[in-house]
């Protein structure tokens, strides 16, 4: 199996609520049952585990108005130490994310549950949903633009060991096709 590929996909849990736990600092991909996924991330920049609930279709519609993609809710806060931001950003418990907004046609290459993108996407989604307003964070920068948010995604991908090629492709995709704010 290639590094970065998961043994089971989020699709298996789209219809029901399940707990996703991503522990540090292991470098393994395990699947125990169809509804529980444990990924791994080797990085000293991510300071906490990524623990998620998969929302049911009805919960996703109620929370986001969208049922086209799986949504997840953080069970515990996620902390990431960013050199670009000059400190630790904490994504709060109950934050909703779709992990990587990756078209299904390329999931064979990079799926949302792949550890190259799962941790980094939560950080990126948070900055995007805040529209760059980081005033609630203990960071020297209280506001960042969209380009900086995309650079933080690339930095976080490097932190989890994503290849330079993957970092570049994802960075260029979010720069060119990501939502504007």
From first to last of its 181 residues, what are the pLDDT tens digits of the chain? 333 333 233 333 333 334 444 433 222 232 233 333 444 455 789 988 888 888 877 888 888 888 777 888 888 899 999 999 999 999 999 999 988 887 778 777 887 777 788 899 999 999 999 999 999 999 998 999 999 999 999 999 999 889 999 999 999 999 998 888 8
| pLDDT at 8 (0 to 100) | 30
At 65, phi and psi to the nearest 5? 75, 10
Dist. CA 37–CA 39, nearest whole Å: 6
Task: Let me know: does 99 contact 11? Beta carbons within 8 Å.
Answer: no
| pLDDT at 50 (0 to 100) | 83
Dist. CA 52–CA 63, nearest whole Å: 15
Task: Let me know: does 132 contact 145? Beta carbons within 8 Å.
Answer: yes
| pLDDT at 170 (0 to 100) | 92
Dist. CA 160–CA 166, nearest whole Å: 12
| pLDDT at 85 (0 to 100) | 97
pTM for this structure?
Answer: 0.76
Question: Which of 41, 36, 40, 64 lies closest to 129, judged by CA?
Answer: 64
Beta strands in the chain (DSSP E): 18-22, 30-31, 37-38, 50-54, 72-74, 78-82, 87-91, 96-97
Dist. CA 80–CA 47, nearest whole Å: 6
Cα 52–chain centre separation: 10
CA dihedral 113→26→41→161, nearest 10 degrees, is -120
Cα 177–chain centre separation: 17
| pLDDT at 19 (0 to 100) | 43
| pLDDT at 36 (0 to 100) | 39
SS3 content of the chain, % helix, strand, coil (to 5): 30, 20, 50
């Amino acid at each position: 199996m290639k590094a970065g590929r998961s043994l089971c996909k989020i699709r298996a849990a789209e219809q029901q609520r399940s707990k996703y736990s991503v522990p540090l600092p292991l470098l393994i991909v395990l699947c125990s049952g169809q509804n529980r996924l444990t990924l791994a991330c080797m990085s000293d920049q991510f300071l906490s585990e990524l623990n998620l609930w998969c929302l049911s279709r009805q919960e996703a519609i109620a929370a986001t108005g969208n049922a086209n993609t799986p949504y997840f809710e953080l069970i515990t806060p996620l902390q990431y130490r960013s050199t670009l931001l000059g400190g630790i950003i904490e994504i709060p418990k109950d934050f909703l994310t779709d992990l990587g907004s990756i078209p299904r046609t390329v999931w064979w290459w990079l799926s949302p549950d792949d550890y190259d993108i799962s941790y980094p996407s939560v950080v990126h989604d948070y900055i995007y949903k805040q529209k760059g307003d980081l005033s609630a964070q203990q960071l020297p920068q209280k506001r960042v633009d969209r380009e900086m948010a995309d650079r933080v995604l690339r930095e976080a991908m490097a932190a989890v060991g994503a290849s330079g090629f993957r970092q570049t492709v994802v960075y260029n995709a979010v720069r060119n096709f990501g939502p504007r704010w």
